[in-house]
A and B are shown apart, each in its own frame.
Chain A
Amino acid sequence: AQSVTQLGSHVSVSEGALVLLRCNYSSSVPPYLFWYVQYPNQGLQLLLKYTSAATLVKGINGFEAEFKKSETSFHLTKPSAHMSDAAEYFCAVIFGGGGNKLTFGTGTQLKVEL
């Protein structure tokens, strides 16, 4: 069955430290992949997307993600965390090379500490 998994519902990092949020998918066909960020009581905002071009994708706010087909992963990283990065992050997938629905992971709450 096709699915998307975010490892770690809560991640805590120190300000200035590396941010790594994990996303794995299960599919025999490379999907389209997205990362979203959600601040409290707001809608989701698109951070970046992978749609079969370059495997290293750069997004807004200094985030980037690398598509690794062999690992079926699309982990989100940022070299240096800022207090304003504290939010919930969702990985999302369109399976089957297209379609009408995005499948979302369960989300990772990022906490940034001084």
Chain B
Amino acid sequence: SQTIHQWPATLVQPVGSPLSLECTVEGTSNPNLYWYRQAAGRGLQLLFYSVGIGQISSEVPQNLSASRPQDRQFILSSKKLLLSDSGFYLCAWRTGGSSPLHFGNGTRLTVT
């Protein structure tokens, strides 16, 4: 069966520090991969998605970037965090077509 791993679960970082969140999927090949952010009271915001290695689509221009160095690995990064980067970050995968998204357990990021 397929599983998705996302870490860390919680993270507290100072303003201006770098960020790296990692997500890996097991049990499937060539998944579509996604990063979402939930800010308090603002719903789900799609940040990036990828349909293949090295292919990244950015939905919102901002302080973050994403990379997909391997088929089932998706990384969210920032060189310098802002206070506004605080939120709950969710990684997800799907196979395409009519298939649903499958989410990881999320990372709670607090920028202080």
Contact = CB atoms under 8 A, between A and B. Distances in A.
Query: Interface extent on A, as a size class?
Result: 20 to 34
B83 interface: no
B46 A101 contact: yes
Nearest to A49: B100
Interface in A73-113: 90, 92, 94, 98, 100-102, 104-107
A46 interface: yes
Given A100-B51, A100-B96, A101-B49, A92 B101 contact: yes
A98 B99 CA distance: 9
Nearest to B43: A106
Nearest to A51: B98
Nearest to A31: B98
Contacts, number: 53
Interface stretch (A12-20, A37-45, A63-71): A37-45
A25 interface: no
Interface string B54-98: 000100000000000000000000000000000010101010111
Interface of A: 32, 34, 36, 41-46, 49, 51-52, 90, 92, 94, 98, 100-102, 104-107
